[in-house]
Structure 1
């Protein structure tokens, strides 16, 4: 059984640990935060043995096998590389990094340390998406012609210091929720030939909402939306020459897929979704480590690099460019 530590004490860290605590393939027993009081409170909440405010001491704990990097986006690359240099396996919360260069540096560190490394894009590990992608790959809906997906909810737009609206913390919609809709066309169709976007910015100059159209050869397209200022249906569908499949809300953690083949009645397919769904990637990391793998075949290093490439491409053309990235 692998022993885990978590770097970060935010909401995502708590959600992940809640799911992991119900599983037996590994367990958490340590937490790191820049604030010892936050680390101690988190350790008490999740019944962890150790709380650290010294990152070096944290990653040098000989009892830890894996570090889950769950801090703000701007810390991912540094914390992951330091953990790998300490010979720890790492699972890095999405997005893995802010750009392709950082992602390449992390992967190089994983290779040098001979340690497992993955981006925590939990949707890719759920049984619903695994099954749907398998059926699509087998030709169930024919050739893909169009993909549509969205993800939206509303945040407090007056609180400019919250993480999602803070440019110093790489806030904004794209890196936090926009990458989910992008996942479907990227995985099924690859990099688009053209991207058109209509982006709305907050007062703090992070991207608040966006509508994207991705264009591929032979007229294939993807229409994607993500917003931090409104609630969207959070559904997705993939249309092909023989029919289509729709993933019910929330599609990124769905337990139902509706298939419509030509003019036939809709056939609903149901899947068990254990807890909130984060446990699937926890089990996958533990499985890969036990098997001696350095990356997961479900979301490989190349998959993470492809996503980083697309995110960087969108930001370079449409923004946001963060203050610390300015020349």
Structure 2
């Protein structure tokens, strides 16, 4: 792909997350919001008008068949990620799909296999991976600034006053705290410590079968992670990574933080890392860099990373008895 050519994005599913993503696309000079699709043509046209987008479609299939689109962003509810991603890839589209990639590990396997078969770029939209504070945190750890990591603690809890009859508790749409927000703490533990030896998890549930809150301990050879997610209350949403020589504290909201601190003995250093927009901009730029280099996956968040995290999530689901159809 030519370096001076704007990359044309198509957006599939036009809910709140798509609104945020489209706003961030407008901050990237090399990006163009070219086409959007909803199952409701009026909604698609309103979205297109708001973001000055040339094309609006009343079905996803129409967007998949638009040959001008360089890459698709899948922003539909969790339950449809796998089906739509596979269909998009089979229509020779590059794909950035919202997290979690799917409700079942086997579906993630199929998504990755399809991307490889079609030889198209495919990435899970774990935007936190590309956050400047997260990049620097990993660099500090690699450089031994906090010694050997022994403990990761992260939570993500936000209270929903009326969760009934919403996507948050609808099992058909992949509802529940684990899949909606619990994947973030799991992502951090995996990013820092890798695949655990053992998983211990417990949950409380809504009457629908979706988890209202879930607590997880990940046991490693020489470390532990304690993680939590909930729809029942709002917490600090911070994270701590502790090692033998110090610790790193990611300030709230840690998954999109613009600051963190490094503590070594009595010395505490604060780092401010303002983001461009909310921070989706960095995963967008990563997609652009991969497309221009003709890469089919990111080195920073690879297919294997997505597969391994999906397997951890699957094991947590088994532990707590969470079953999606």
TM range (shorter): over 0.9
Does structure 2 conserve the Cα–Cα contact (< 8 Å) formed by 1:207 and 1:319?
Answer: no
Indicate which of 244, 248, 265 corresponds to 2:247.
244
- Cα RMSD for the two superposed structures: 1.1
Does residue 284 in structure 1 map to residue 286 in structure 2? yes
Return the alpha-carbon distance in structure 2 between the equivalents of residues 156 and 297 of structure 1: 40
Gaps of 5+ in 2: 1-5
Per the alignment, in what secondary structure is the counterpart of residue 28 of structure 1? strand
SS, match of residue 238 in structure 1: strand
Q: Secondary structure at the match of 1:135?
A: helix
Match of 1:109 in 2: 114
- How does 1:133-172 map onto structure 2 within 5 Å? 133-157=138-162, 159-172=163-176
Tell me the TM-score normalized by structure 2. 0.96
Higher alpha-carbon deviation: 166-175 or 20-29: 20-29
CA deviation map 1:175-223 (0-9, x unaligned)? 11101111121112112122222211112220111121111113x1111
**What's 2:71 paired with?**
66
The aligned residue for residue 202 of structure 2 is 198
> Secondary structure of the residue that 1:258 maps to in structure 2?
strand
Instruction: Tell whether the 8 Å contact from 2:202 to 2:319 is kept in structure 1 after alignment.
Output: no
TM-score between both structures, scaled by the size of structure 1: 0.95
Q: How does 1:1-327 map to 2 (within 5 A)?
A: 1-157=6-162, 159-218=163-222, 220-262=223-265, 264-322=266-324, 324=325
Structure 1 distance, partners of 2:77, 2:165, is 13
**Comparing 207-216 with 232-241, which one deviates more in the overlay?**
207-216
Counterpart position of 2:3? none
CA contact (8 A) 2:153 2:239 kept: yes
Q: Deviations over 1:200-249 (max 9, x none)?
A: 1112220111121111113x111111111110100001000001010000
Contact 2:197–2:220 (Cα < 8 Å) also in 1? yes
* Alignment deviations for residues 63-87 of structure 1 (CA, whole Å, 9 cap, x no partner): 1010100001111111111111111
SS of alignment partner, residue 153 of structure 2: strand
Unaligned runs of 5+ in 1: none
Whole-Å Cα distance in 2 between the matches of residues 162 and 206 of structure 1?
Answer: 11
Q: CA separation in 1, counterparts of 2:103 and 2:215? A: 21
Question: Offset at 1:319?
Answer: 3.0
Query: What is the alpha-carbon distance in structure 1 between the residues aligned to residue 230 and residue 59 of structure 2?
Result: 36
The number of aligned residues is: 320
SS at match of 1:147: strand
Does structure 2 retain, via aligned residues, the 8 Å contact 1:32–1:54?
yes
Q: Counterparts of 1:183 and 1:201 in 2: how far apart (Å)?
A: 22
CA contact (8 A) 1:212 1:223 kept: yes
CA distance in 1 between counterparts of 2:214 and 2:110 reads 29
Runs of 4+ in 1 over 3 A off after TM superposition: none
Further displaced range: 82-91 or 197-206: 197-206
